[in-house]
Structure formats: C-alpha cells, structure tokens
Amino acid sequence: MKKVAIYIETEKGKIKSGSFGMITSIRNSSVELYAIIINDYSEKYREELQLYGVQKVLFVTTNNGSANYHPELWSRAAISSLKYLEIDTLIALTSTKAKTVLAMIAAKLDAPLVLNCLRVDLIKNKAEKILYSGKTNGTILLKGKHYIYGMRKGNIDPEQNPCQSESLFFETSETLNKNYHYLGEKSEATDTVDLSEAEVIISGGRGMENQQNFDILKACAKKMNASVGASRVAVDSGWVPYAMQVGQTGVKVNPKVYIACGLSGSVQHYAGMKTSNIIIAINQDPNAAIISNCDYYIVENLFDVVPLLTKKLESKI
C-alpha cells in the first residue's frame, strides 16, 4: 500500500481548521496516511486524526523541541521525517505558512509541487487546480522522486472515517544558516474571521462610498460569523486595507456564501471569488456585471437592505 505523509499544522493546542476536510478529500482505500506534526506533542491530536482515517501520527522533535515555528527549520525537519518514514508523497493544506514550508521542501528536493489543488490522484501523481485567473481547470502531471501537494482550503466538508491509529516519535537536529532570522509573528487586532477560511463573506465595492459605511457590513458580518471583503476600488480609494481585497491580486476566497454589496463584479474581482458556492448580489444597478454572474440578486440600495438583514439575523438567531 502506498504511504502518504500529511503535514499537519497546529496552533494553540488545536489542529488547524480545514485539516480534516483536506484529509477527507485525499483519503482512499489504496493509501496509508501518516500525519507529521512538528514540535507539538499531544495524544489528543492522534485521537482526532484517527477519526478521519489517519493511521499513524509521527511526532517530530527538532532541535530539542523548544523551537517555535520557523519555516526553514520546519522544512528541514519535514524532509528528515520523509526520509525516516521512507515516504515520497507529502500533502498539506495550502495555508500561508504551510505553502512556504512546502515550497522550501520542494526547492531543497528539486521535487514537483502543486499548490491549491482541487483534487489529487496519489497513485497516478496528478493534481487538478485552477489556472489562468480562474478561467480554466488544469490537470498537472508530476514527475520526480518526490511529489508534493497543497490542497486548497475548503474543498469539501470533513467526514469521519475512524480507524485504529498509532503514535510514532522521531527526533532530528537541523543546522540553520545564520543569514536568516525568523523573528516570529504578530497579530494585528482584527474582529472578523479570516477571509480565506470564512464560510460567509460580505463584500463592498464602489457603492460603499466611504470608509465609515463599511461599519454597516461589519455589523452584519458579526451577526452571521462572516468576514468582510472589498473590491479593488474600495481598497484603492483608501476605505479599507489591502488585506481585505478579494480578487485576482487580492485574497482568493472559497466560501459557502459570498454577498457582494454595491460591487460591480469586474473580471478580476470574479477571479478571486468565483468558486463560492452561492453568490448573492445586492446592487441598485440591474445592469451591473455581477447580476448576470450570481445565483440570487436584489435590486435595491445596499444601505436599505444590509441593515434590514442585520436586524433579521439579530432577531431570528
């Protein structure tokens, strides 16, 4: 049976959300799944992973286990782990951090890597992903001594498939170059959900008119645990920071519901959100491009609709 390694990210004692959906999307009867967790040991992780069909969990201790996340160190430790397990295929979730670790691993091994995969064929070494600004679906054939994949977040919902699992332990010590110092991370205060992981996104475009009006979207978002996005126009006008931009050159999102408010829906914006399950447009202009490219639309002023929706969400939950 083919052995496949899954790189699992943990944070504050939890397995990263999205990991179980990723495992659900790759598991099949002809592969044996090994999880790799670096410098974070807990039997709770193994118990959770076995519910989703992971048979072995390798707890890796690197540089005495004291080290915090460091992409160089993590990529070296992962390579040593693959060698130790004699596994040639590695999969992770395409999160910002994991994609750096995966790319560092692929670069060191001169191995093929495909990120943001929709589907993978672990036996034939093929991956499907979206290419050309969201306009085509491409199948990529990987050749080499290793195969590395990053699955796109939110592809499918997690489904349990319990099995018996076992913890394995591996210690490694890696030497780091002195020309790179990872100083750690900092969290800017945000009160909304991460755009790339949000199940619901409410976005504003030119029709928002100014910075203050985004508070209307934020209030509504809060009532349904949604995240707030924006079009490039709203960002370029200085109403909201770049981190909120959804689109080809912004964040690419994959929510269950995308609500576009006062947003015309340029091709570039569409490229960043077209994989949303349901697209809802609220726009005064029945001729806006988004109207012909959505599932449901309301032709009304967003400043009337959104507060009403907020009220409704408040009263019915």
Partner 1 sequence: MKIFVCVKHVPDSAATITVIEKNQIDEQVTFLINPYDENAISAAVKLKNQFEGSEIIAISVGKPKASESIQSALAMGADRAIHVVTTTNVDSILTAKALHQAIQKDGSPDLILMGKESIDNEGMQTMFRLAANFNFPIASNVFSLELKNRCIFVESELEAGKIEKIEIDLPCVLAVSKGLNKPQYPTLPQIIQAKKKKIESVNIDSLVPKILKSQMTIIELSPISEHRKCIELEGDIEQKVEQLFTILKNEAKVI
Within positions 197 to 226, which residues make up the interface with partner 1, using CB under 8 A?
Answer: 197, 199-200, 224
Full strand arrangement of the beta sheet holding 2-7: 113-117, 147-151, 89-93, 2-7, 31-38, 56-62, 166-172
145 or 162, CB closer to partner 1? 145
User: Binding partner 1 by CB under 8 A: which of 257, 260, 273, 288?
Assistant: 257
Measured between alpha carbons, how far is 113 from 99 in angstroms, rounded to an integer? 10
**Beta pairing class for 126-131 and 56-62:** unpaired
Q: Calculate helix-pair angle for 71-85, 96-109, nearest 10 degrees.
A: 60
Cβ proximity to partner 1: between 31 and 111 the closer is 111
Applying CB under 8 A, does 230 fall inside the site for partner 1?
A: no
Shortest CB 183 distance to partner 1, Å: 4
Choose the stretch contacting partner 1; rule: CB under 8 A; options: 1-9, 26-34, 173-181, 214-222: 173-181
Residue list 115-134, contact with partner 1 (CB under 8 A): 115-116, 126, 129-134
Q: Which of 64, 179, 212, 287 binds partner 1 (CB under 8 A)?
A: 179
Please state the closest distance from residue 142 (CB atom) to partner 1, in A.
6
Q: Do 279 and 295 touch, CB atoms closer than 8 A?
A: yes
CA angle at residue 26 from 11 to 134, to 5 degrees? 85
SS3 category, 315:
helix
**Which residues are CB-contacts of 59 (< 8 A; sequence separation ≥ 6)?**
37, 40, 41, 167, 168, 169, 170
| CB 92 within 8 Å of CB 101 | yes
Count CA atoms closer than 13 A to 310's CA, side-chain side.
Answer: 15
Decide whether 163 or 313 has the Cβ nearer to partner 1.
Answer: 313
Q: What angle do helix axes 302-316 and 214-223 make, rounded to 10 degrees? A: 20
Site membership for partner 1, residue 93 (CB under 8 A): no
Output 53 or 255, the one with its CB closest to partner 1. 255
- 142 token code pair: 């990987």
Question: Using CB under 8 A as the criterion, what x/- string covers residues 259-298 for binding partner 1?
Answer: -------xxx--x--x--xxxx----------xxxxxxxx
What token pair was written down for 51? 């519910």
User: Which is nearer to partner 1, 57 or 259 (by Cβ)?
Assistant: 259
Instruction: Please report whether residue 141 would count as binding partner 1 according to CB under 8 A.
Output: yes
Which residue from 3, 144, 206, 219 is in contact with partner 1, where contact means CB under 8 A? 144
Contact region with partner 1 (CB under 8 A), list: 33-41, 53-61, 102-110, 212-220: 102-110
User: Which residues in 296-315 contact partner 1 (CB under 8 A)?
Assistant: 296-300, 304-305, 308-309, 312-313
Residue type, 40: D
Closest CA to 108 of 137, 71, 141, 140: 71
Q: Please report whether residue 180 would count as binding partner 1 according to CB under 8 A.
A: yes
Q: Whole-angstrom Cα distance, residue 228 to residue 199?
A: 11
Is residue 52 a contact residue for partner 1 (CB under 8 A)?
A: no
Q: Which of residues 4-33 bind partner 1 (CB under 8 A)?
A: none
The residue among 29 and 177 lying less far from partner 1, judged by its C-beta, is 177
